[in-house]
Every structure is written in C-alpha cells, then in structure tokens.
Amino acid sequence: MQRRKTVGISLWAFHALISISSFALAADQPKESVVSASSTERHLTNIRQLTFGRQNAEAYFSFNGTKLIFQSTNNWMKDSSASPRKPAGSGLGCYQMYVMDVESETVRLVSTGKGATTCGYFFPGDSRVLYSSTHAAGPECPPKPKRDGAYRWALDDYDIYSANLDGQYIQRLTASPGYDAEATISPDGKAVVWTSVKDGDLDLYTMNLDGSNVRRLTNDIGYDGGAFFSPDSKKIVYRSAHPTDPSEVAKYKELLAQRLVEPGQLEIFVMNADGSGKKQVTTTGASNFSPYFHPDGTRIIFSSNIETRGEGGRPSFHLYLVRDDGTGLERLTMEGHFNSFPMFSPDGKRLVWVSDRNAKEPGEFNVFLADWVP
C-alpha cells in the first residue's frame, strides 16, 4: 500500500476506494484551488504499463532504481524468467510480493506464497526486501470483514519480515499481536518507519533495520500511517484520520477493539523524523492518501478524490502535487478513475504509480512507469 487507509490500510484494499463512496462523498468542498488548466498529463511522458490484469499495487523502487517491489494477485512463476505479460496461473486469492527488473520486466516471487502480504520495500544494497505478511497466523487469506454500510478495513495479524530476493533467509522484525505493516526505509538506510497497534492504537513507529531500538512517533487517537521519509531522511510524510467528536472517538475505539477501521477523511501531515514538529499539510476534508516527497524535499505528491467526492456516483482518485505548507495544489493525472501509490525514482527522473487506466475488467489496476517532466 493502499499502500503502503491501503492503508493495507496498506492497501486499504484500495480497489474498495474506487467502488465505495460513502466516506469519500461526505466532505465539504476543498479550501485549496486546483491547478488543472490542461487536460493533458504534462508532467508524465513515455508512460509504460508494467503489469497486465487483476490487481497489482504499491510498486516501490529499489535504492539503485533498477528494480521494483510490488504486490499482486497475479500468479507468476517462481523463477526470474516469468514476465508480467504472461502470468503463470489464474490468480491468487490475496496479495503476494514480487520483485520486477524494470528493464527486462522479469518477475520473481519474494514472499512465502502463504497468507496475505502487503507493503514491500527494498533494503539498502537492494539484495534484501521487507514486507508485511499474515503467513505466521495461517496459510489462508484472511477473511474480509462483512459490509455494514460504510467500508471497513480489517486489521489483520500482519508482521514485518525481511528476505533475500529469492525469498530465502527470512527474518521476522516484529512480533507483537495484531497489525504491523506499511513499513518503508529511510533514504540514508538507517531506519524503518511503520504503523502498528502494539500500544492499542494505530500509530507510527521507527526502528533500526534489524528491528531494534523501537520508538513511538505519534500518539493522537486515530489512524496514522502510510509514512515515507524525505530525501534527506530528516522528515516523514504520512496520512492521518483523527476523530475529535466524542461519538466518533467512541465508534473508532469500538471498531478498533474488533480489529476494524472505518476509514473517513484523511489529511496529509509532515513531521520531523523523531516525531517532533507535526504539521498538517492538507485541509481539504477529502480522502488524501499515499503521500510521497518530491525530490526537492519541499513538495509532496499524493492521491485524492478532492475534485470528485461531491459529484455523486463513482469518485475518481488522481495524483496531486502540493507544497509542504499546503499551497500550490496541482493535479497531475487525468486518465482513469483511480491513480495512487506514487513514488519517484531515486534520481527523480521517473515516477511509478498504480492506475485503473486501460483496465479490461472491473476492479483491475496495474503498475505504470513514466518519465517525470519538471
């Protein structure tokens, strides 16, 4: 996830985001004006579709920019000769984790093939990856929560693991009961940030790459997640939903006790890497998620339904760019109904994201890569 609420929430099963409008259509109109004078995607060129069919999500670059780790319900073969254009089987019931070579488009499985996985990321050196998985709790896909009005996301029993690119030498980094996911690593290669319920709420934590030196960064009631470090590793951008009305707080806690979250409006926040200096970036009242720092370290790219949540019918989620003070909001994507999980390559020259553009079946979304035009 969505992505890293995909917020599987990581994925928040983000395909639900484009089919469920109960939380997305309830907000007031945005305060910011959106710069979208052109109908073209002027910042994106040489757009290339990397996956084809079913659900492919949360693709993130390796440190050297030559590989991507992503989650998919496609069933590729377990060797490196498999191509995303020719998956090996009919498809899986839940996400597994794969690594793709960007140039050759060869794909290999890096997770266990059991349980559900989400939120993959590379370690420095690109020879190991981390991901969150439920396989220790059981080999089957976790059951989806029953629909009762608004969309609810299950806090399944994920833990964070690291593994070699062949899926071997697995190391478990978290072992607390409940949800531990949405993990990413700082560009300087020194820290992991992730979301956990280990202390009774959905908060952000950091730890060393081996799982030691755990520190809690957030402590407000509500969800904090989907965090990424700034290019200089000094700041963290993340998404939050903090209920304030007593009845909303009570409902949130009641659902949390049932290991459920009912996503509402999400806003983007920035803080220092030690958890100090929290600052709200967006105030749109929309569903703003999947934030990532622009290479200049002062702007943030994210996904939102800012412009469609009040129109009725199917909401559309597009990519936007905003300064870290909340000004200069600019729409980046125009095609499709769902664009999310953006990440810039380490050199800042390319953007990878997930979209339902070109989809052949309902609920299909794929990984796209483009050259970034400043």
pLDDT digits 0-9 by tens, 125-174:
999 999 999 999 999 999 887 766 677 888 999 999 999 999 999 999 99
Our measurement of the distance from residue 167's CA atom to the centroid of its chain's CA atoms, rounded to an integer in Å, reads 22
Q: State which H helix or E strand residue 19 sits in.
A: helix 14-19
The structure's pTM equals 0.88
User: How far is the C-alpha of 134 from the C-alpha of 136, rounded, in Å?
Assistant: 6
Our measurement of the distance from residue 128's CA atom to the centroid of its chain's CA atoms, rounded to an integer in Å, reads 20
Other C-beta atoms lying within 10 Å of the C-beta of residue 276: 8
Q: What is the greatest pairwise CA distance in the chain? A: 55
Structural domains in the chain, sorted by start: 14-372 (2.120.10.30)
User: How far is the C-alpha of 366 from the C-alpha of 266, rounded, in Å?
Assistant: 24
Residue 156 token pair: 């399944």
Residue 326 has pLDDT above 50, yes or no: yes
- Side-chain half-sphere exposure of 194, counting CA atoms within 13 A: 31
Tens of pLDDT, residue by residue over 69-107, are 999 998 765 444 555 554 544 456 789 999 999 999 999
Q: What is the mean pLDDT of the chain?
A: 86
> Which of 4-8, 74-78, 83-87, 241-245 ranks highest by mean pLDDT?
241-245
